[in-house]
Amino acid sequence: MKIGIPREIKNNENRVGMTPAGVFSLKKNNHTVYVQSNAGEGSGFLDKDYSDVGAIILSTIEEVYDASEMIVKVKEPIASEYDLIKENQILFTYFHFASSEELTKAMIRQKAICIAYETVEDEDGSLPLLTPMSEVAGRMAIQQGAKYLEKPIKGRGILLGGVPGVAPGKVLILGAGVVGVQAAKMAAGLGASVTVMDVNMKRLRYVNDVLPNHVVTAFSNEYSIRQHIKTHDLIIGGVLLKGGKAPKLITRDMLKEMKPGTVIVDVAVDQGGCFETTRPTTHENPTYIIDDVVHYCVANMPGAVPYTSTLALTNVTLNYILKIANLGWREACNRDKTLGKGLNIVKGEIVYEELVGIFDL
């Protein structure tokens, strides 16, 4: 198979879809790999690193799309890429279709084979290709939240860990999944006072078992959320509905209940966000303020730490890329039901149940 690795062109996206080690493995399986010039530069991989293991370096993104049967990316194609995608071309990347009607209709129109990292699902319900980026984003949420709590950036002026004689900051985490657990670990490590909320008692019991005693759990409902947001300094939104839009757990009117300078970080922004006032931001302009509440809603948080993120992602995607390349997408998805769950749009038709009806399609 001919596999293409284009340079990511979304704002401040420095990750790349494959490392030189991945190219090496594909070449050993007799596949051809095209890499756009400087595609790996943001993650610390030079063109020479790729060419040394057998990749063919192409100058432009148009050449990569034109030469390839499968495109391996990190983020969803943006508008300037839509017309580069060919009928029956395989795209393997994060899509998050539920948050973009434009992207969904474009991929239907192009009649491509769209396999989404975020819906590849194991038998136990876990999402192996979403997990590493959720781990990165969960940890980053605290790192970024702590920074934006500083007064010069319009935060409350709180040091999360406190100091002797001064109480630590209070962190509220909505969702006890991968993002929530990783965020809680980081916040607890800084010495913050941490509350994790969820509707799943099994997840709350897990958090209670594995995290330190100063991480407490609470069952999530609207009344309880309204009470907690009044007293917390940093609020992390980390809820996920597989393939669907995230629920709006914090509404516009709730912002007035928060202390001025409270920071809210919406890690669910890729799936539409779990705060009513969420709108996607970039690493160039990461925050905005509504009702004196600082919103951090960067849609590609792991892109700020591309070396770590690229390695973590390709650790889990490469085996699936090899299956698709070796067997073809249809046979690979038939043999591996986990991979099969990643099929979202095939030749102009939506084939992922959770997407049906979201945009009246």
Active-site residue, from 31, 96, 228, 232: 96
Give me the phi and psi of 46, to 5 degrees please: -90, 160
Q: Tell me if residue 295 is catalytic.
A: no
| 12-46 residues labelled b (16+ CB within 10 A) or e (exposed) | bbbbbbbbbebbebbeeeebbbbbbbebbebbebe
Cα 351 versus chain centre, distance: 22
Per-residue pLDDT at 140:
97
User: Which parts of the chain sit beneath pLDDT 70?
Assistant: 243
Give me the phi and psi of 269, to 5 degrees please: -60, -35
**Sequential DSSP letters for 274-337:** SBTT---B-SSS-EEEETTEEEE-BTTGGGGSHHHHHHHHHHHHHHHHHHHHHH-HHHHHHH-H
Per-residue pLDDT at 243:
67
What's the rounded Cα separation, in Å, for the pair 240 and 233? 23
Report residue 184 as tokens.
């809680």
Contacts of 339 (CB under 8 A, 6+ apart): 115, 120, 320, 323, 324, 332, 333
Q: Helix or strand or coil: residue 57?
A: strand
Report residue 153 as tokens.
């950036």
Report residue 199 as tokens.
């509707």
Q: Helix or strand or coil: residue 91?
A: strand
Report residue 312 as tokens.
């973590």
Q: Which residues pair with 361 in a beta bridge?
A: none
Q: Where are the beta strands (DSSP E) in the chain?
A: 2-5, 32-36, 56-58, 70-72, 90-93, 113-116, 170-174, 193-198, 215-219, 234-237, 263-266, 287-290, 293-296, 343-346, 349-350
Per-residue pLDDT at 241:
79
Per-residue pLDDT at 231:
97
Q: In this predicted model, what pLDDT tens digit does every residue of 146-172 receive, in sequence order?
A: 999 999 999 999 999 999 999 999 999
* 127-130: long-range contacts, CB 8 A cutoff, minimum separation 24: 127/242, 128/316, 128/338, 129/313, 129/316, 129/317, 129/320, 129/342, 130/178
Report residue 109 as tokens.
């129109």
Per-residue pLDDT at 361:
75
What's the rounded Cα separation, in Å, for the pair 15 and 246? 25
Q: In this predicted model, what pLDDT tens digit does every residue of 241-284 receive, in sequence order?
A: 776 778 999 999 999 999 999 999 999 998 889 999 999 999 99
Per-residue pLDDT at 355:
87
Per-residue pLDDT at 98:
86
Active-site residue, from 198, 266, 270, 295: 270
Q: Tell me if residue 31 is catalytic.
A: no
